Every structure is written in structure tokens, then in C-alpha cells.
Structure 1
Amino acid sequence: MDVLVIVVLVIVVALVFDFTNGFHDTANAMATSVATGAFKPRTAVLISAVLNLVGAFLSTEVAKTVSQGIIREGQDGVHISPTMIFAGLVGAVLWNLATWYFGLPSSSTHALFGGLIGASIIGAGTDSVDWATVVSKVVLPALLSPLIAGVIALVATYLAYTLTKNATTHGAATGFRHGQTVSASLVSLAHGTNDAQKTMGVITLTLIAANYQDAGTGPVLWVVLACGLAIALGTYMGGWRIMQTVGKKISDVQSPQGFAAETSSAATILVSSHLGFALSTTHVTSGSVIGSGLGKKLADVHWGVVGKIVIAWVVTLPSAAVVGGLATWMAASSTIGLVLVAVLALAGGLTFFVLARRKPISADDVHEGSTEREPVAAGN
């Protein structure tokens, strides 16, 4: 198949991934503010969409990590082909849709990297992956970021309740709720500086692999704009299934906790984006919500839900890697294999959407006052 056709196909699938990243991770920015009533659901996703778009233009350091760091470059170019990148994206998109359907806030970042790593190993061998970069800028941040954000949120929540006498003095709870309009917006902005960059890096890597762009260069303007718009549009779709889990099922979040969690998340993500760490926004925000639950005296953290989320975190990268590797094995064999992978991916994606329509979750299910505590897999 002509290289240009494959490159176009990769760009389309990459933007689809960016779109799923938007509605998959909207909960990271806005779930707690919606749960406490600081934002109405539709207002929340609109603001989040706009700020995700703005954030996409503020930094490209994470995009450079993806395009220049994860996959090795040799004298003859990068050790991966556009077909392999396409296969890796298939693994990432399908994992995003599966975890969205079950309402699990898993990492879109690790789904993407898992898909690319699996595709690279099968298509070009283990030496094609820069394991040092994977460990230093992907694995270590994945382990440390939720702990750091959680501890900050725990301390901030404890101080908030202590200084305001359980958030009842002089309307403190209302003040925190107003503060959430700022802190939640910062998380959305931070999300754009980190997550939108990853798709930019994938498209840039594809253009370099196909010799349409010089090695070592960053994303061009049209790539930045396209990725920013895709993640913003996906964000506006809502992602109510995961928003319900983060806002209501991890802990019964009150406005001081929400403010502390969002502020902690925004600070952690913005610093990581500046340093070029391809952070999981999901890990950070979930860690912050757990920390905010522990920081409130006698808070109720729903550990059964937390356990399911942690399991999803652990299996995300290897699961996406397996799918990406299998897709590469099929797609790299022939044009028929490539077409077959595309058809199977489309069928898999449509299956999750059909299943979701049978058990819909709407904006009404995530606003303040929603008390559903069904098991994550059954109620979404």
C-alpha cells in the first residue's frame, strides 16, 4: 500500500485516539467540581474543552518525548514504520473505549505507549524501544505522580478543614466551591499541556518515519491545531461514565476536598509538562481524590472501587502492548492484513458504543446529589 495512504490513515486514527482521550479524561479535570455543584455538567465540559485547546498550544515538550524519545532513531531513521504506528494506535483506542465503557479511569497515556511499544517490539525488535526513556519519563512518573499528588491533596484537605473548622465557618464551603471554578479550570489547562501533546508526538513520529519531516524536529502548527481541536471536541462530549466514578465512587467528595484535589493535580501536571514527563493525568487526579478523601476526618474512601482502578492501571500498558503487537503482526504481513486490522478495530469500537447506548450514563447522573454506588463494571 502507498506510504501516503498509510500516513493519512495513521493521522486519522491518531486524531480518533485524541478524541477518545478527551471524553475519557474529562473526568480528571471536572468530576469533583461537578460532584460538589461548583459547575453544572454541561458548563464544566465546555470550559474544559476550551482550556484543553488552549493548553495544547502552551508546550510541546511532552510531544518531543513521544516523537524523539520512546522509539529509537538510527542512522537510517526511526526504527518504526507508519504501519506499526497505526497498529499501536489501534491497541490504544480499543483499550480507551473498553475502560470508558466500564467507567474505569485508566491511563490513556499508558494505553498509547503500550500500543506503540508492543507494535515496535513485534515489528522492529526490542532494540527499537528506548527503554531508558520509557523508565525515566513514563514508568517512574506513573509510580510517583499519584503518590505525590495524593500526599499534597491529603495535607491540603486536612489544612482546609482544620483552618475553617470543618468548612462551616463563615460560609467556607461556599468559598471553596467558588474556588473550584478556578482549580478545576487549571486542571483542564494542564491536561491540554500534557495529553494533547502525546498525539502530536505520534503524528510527528509518523511523519518522520515516512520521511515527510526531518528527524529531531517537533510538531508543526497544523498538527498542534488538529490535536488541540480533537481533544477539545472529545472533552465536550462529556465522558459521564468515568466522571461518575471519579466524582462519586472513589470518595464522597465535598467542596474543600475537591478544591484541594484539583489544585494538587494541576500543580503536578503543569510541572511535569514543563519537564517533558509524559504523565498520566488519570493517575494524578485519581491519586489526588484518594488523598483528599483521606485528608478529611473520618472520610469514606471506597477501597473496592480504588482496587479496580489500580488493577486497570497495572494492566493498561501490557494489555495495549499485546493488542498493538498482534495488530502489527497482522497489518505488516500484507495489504489485506492492514485492511483486516482496520475493519476489526472499527467493529470493536462500534461494539463498545452500542453496548454503552444500552446502559447510558448522562450528565444527570454525575451532578451533586447523585448517590449511586453500584459496582464500577455493572453500573456504567
Structure 2
Amino acid sequence: MDTQLILLIVIIVLALAFDFINGFHDAANSIATIVATRVLTPFQAVLWAASFNFAAYFISKYWIGEFKIGNTIAKTVNEQFITLEVILAGIIAAIIWNLLTWWFGIPSSSSHTLIGGFMGAAIAHAGAFAENGQDVINYVKVIPIFLCIFLAPMIGMFIAYFLTILIMNICRRSNHKKAENWFRRLQLVSSALFSLGHGGNDAQKVMGIIGAAVIFYHVQAGHQDWITSENQFNYFVDQWGWVPFVSFLVIGLGTMSGGWKIVKTMGTKITKVTPLEGVAAETSGAMTLYIMEYLGIPVSTTHTITGSIIGVGITKRVSAVRWGVTINLLWAWILTIPVSALIAALIYYFIRLF
């Protein structure tokens, strides 16, 4: 077995491991509010969310008909700077950062750590091998991702704020107890909608990384059908159809394992959430994710739901949001891409020693 094939297999295994970690790291995003409001027990909640994470595969494949976000991830680095060593270093860095933030209960972005790792390793590679002043980063793909670090939570916050106000006005004359019971049931729907968005958004990121590795391997091997293909990522999806299926399945399994430290942060530390507010936050987060998936922009489900929870909180009063916790989260968001990139660069240099 040649070295490149062994590297490809290792990358696929590690990418799926990252996918699993992503699932339990981000489980809190879709279940924090239904656990906090005691609509479901933690075990019931993760089963519920995991089911819809996996169901997103069928929506992406048979309803939307393509995997836009996966295609975007695969093209964040210009292809002449992609090697299997670059991809391997990026994935290892992403796994390290995800595990560190999970250990400390910080809801950072799995999406951005993967992108940061990929770019950092590519830049380290280009330092030795770049020619003709070519850009390492594909800015057409990357700039919208960077903008949405800030836009996605803001969009989620504004939608959540206005949706909460709208619901409160519609229900202001309702019997409080009956209304609360209805919103407890509706949280199952809103949580399912957000879990579909989470699966559709995050599973595709792993697909994109695996796709970049598979395409590089076949092109380097001189396989003409891959070299001459008009859209190599779509060709990858057609030829390696098991990868999308397994990517969605594994993120669902990861979600089933839960991420309880982050559930606590998301469900109780940002602001106290009622069933009505849980419905508004999850629905707003889901709407934001669907918009971004339609545009093919990978965003952080963590950032999105955090922004939505803040939007719900400020409908009561600005002080209802624990801004100290929120500022700590913001620092984690800002640091994720550069720290992941630095870790990936160091790992790339280490790999090149062998």
C-alpha cells in the first residue's frame, strides 16, 4: 500500500472522529433550551437531536439536491496548496482545539476550528513551496465565512428578538398555564428544526475536508476522469456516495453522546430561558442556519444559537443577559481560527520531519 493511500485512509478516519467530536461538542446547541426548561430529560433530548441530525442527510441529498457547504469548505484553500499532509495537520489541530474547548465547557465553533486548521497548515506549506505570489487562501470563499462569524449571531439575535416580541403580543391574553404547556410541546418542533440545520451545516464540513483529500489523491495519481471532471466535488459525491451518508450518521452518533458542560453554559449561564423563549431562540437559530445553507456559507451553529438566546434575553431587559459569560464566549470565537491555524502550522512542520 503506497504512502499517499495510507495518508488518505488516516485522514478519513480522523475526519470522521472530528465529526463525532463535533456532534457531542455541539449537542448543546439544539438541546440546551429543552433540557433547561425540562421539556425532555438529557437522554431523551440527545436522542431527539441526533435523529434530526441524521435526517438532514435526506433533506440535503433529495430535497436541496446538493451539498453546497461541503463544496465551500473543500475550496477554502486554493488547490495548488492542498496536500494530504496539509489536510492531516488541519484535522489534528481542529480535534485538539475542539477537545480543549469541550473540556473547559466553552461553546466554540467546530466549523471555524476546522477552517482555521486547514488554512493554517496550507499557509505553513506555502511558506516553503509557494510560487509566483499566488494566494494560498481562496478569498472568494473565505471572506463570507469571516463576515458571518459576526453576522450569523447578529442575524439570530435580531430574528429571536422580534420573534419573541411577536409571540408575546399574540399570546398576551392567553391563559398562562395553557400557553406554557403549548410552548413546551412546540419546543420539540423548534429543537428538531435546529437539529436539522445543525446536521445539514456541520456534517457537510467534514465531507468537504474528505472531499479535498480524495480529489487531491486521485488527481495526483493521474486518474483522468477526476482531472477532467467539470465539478470535482460533485464528482466526488457521486463516486464516494457513502461519505455524505456516514458523515451525517457519525455527527448524529456524536450528538447522542452529549456535551453536558456546554449544555450547562448554553442553557443556563447566558440567560434564564422559558419554553416560549426556547421556541423563539431555536426557531430563530434554525432560520439563520437555513439561510446560510441556501447561500452555501458554513457558519457556526454555536454562534448562531448563542446570538438567538441573547436576542431572547434582551426582550426582558439588557441586564437579563449575563454579559460577562457572553464576553468570554466572544473571546473564544475570536481566538478559534488563529489559534487553530497556529496549531495546524506547528503540526504540519512536525509531519514534514518524517
TM-score, normalised relative to structure 1: 0.83
Q: Give structure 1 regions of 4+ aligned residues with deviation exceeding 6 angstroms.
A: none
Bigger CA drift: 211-220 or 91-100?
211-220
Residue 118 of structure 1 corresponds to: 120
Distance in 1 between the 2:187 and 2:117 partners?
35
The alignment-based identity, stated in percent, is 40
Counterpart secondary structure, 2:59: coil
1:71 aligns with 2:56: no
C-alpha distance 234-328 of structure 1, shift in aligned 2 (>3 A): same
Amino acid at match of 2:338: P
Cα distance, 1:194 vs structure 2: 0.5
Residue 313 of structure 1 corresponds to: 333
What pairs with 1:132-147 in structure 2 (closer than 5 Å)?
Answer: 132-136=140-144, 138-147=145-154
Cα distance, 1:271 vs structure 2: 1.7
Maintained 8 Å contact 1:198/1:278: yes
C-alpha distance 281-247 of structure 1, shift in aligned 2 (>3 A): same
Residue 106 of structure 2 corresponds to: 104
Distance in 2 between the 1:83 and 1:277 partners?
25
What pairs with 1:1-380 in structure 2 (closer than 5 Å)?
Answer: 2-59=3-60, 60-67=67-74, 69-73=75-79, 78-125=80-127, 127-136=135-144, 138-165=145-172, 169=176, 171-211=178-218, 214=226, 216-218=232-234, 219=237, 220-297=240-317, 300-334=320-354
Cα deviation 1:100-159 (Å, max 9, x = unaligned): 1111111000000000000000012472221231002x1112111100110110111223
Distance in 2 between the 1:110 and 1:9 partners?
22
Residue 63 of structure 2 corresponds to: none
Counterpart secondary structure, 2:254: helix
Cα distance, 1:298 vs structure 2: 7.0
Maintained 8 Å contact 1:180/1:258: yes
C-alpha distance 166-299 of structure 1, shift in aligned 2 (>3 A): farther
C-alpha distance 298-208 of structure 1, shift in aligned 2 (>3 A): closer
C-alpha distance 87-185 of structure 1, shift in aligned 2 (>3 A): same
The structure with the largest helix share of the pair is: 2
Distance in 2 between the 1:20 and 1:166 partners?
45
Cα distance, 1:296 vs structure 2: 2.6
Aligned-CA RMSD value = 1.7
Distance in 2 between the 1:54 and 1:333 partners?
43
Cα deviation 1:34-65 (Å, max 9, x = unaligned): 11112221111011111111113432110111
Cα deviation 1:215-262 (Å, max 9, x = unaligned): 622333111122112111110001111111000100011111111000
C-alpha distance 112-167 of structure 1, shift in aligned 2 (>3 A): farther
Counterpart secondary structure, 1:295: coil
C-alpha distance 46-194 of structure 1, shift in aligned 2 (>3 A): same
TM-score, normalised relative to structure 2: 0.89
Structure 1 unaligned segments of length 5 or more: list them: 335-380
Maintained 8 Å contact 1:57/1:193: no
Q: How many residues align?
A: 328
Distance in 2 between the 1:270 and 1:52 partners?
14
Counterpart secondary structure, 2:314: helix
Distance in 2 between the 1:264 and 1:323 partners?
34
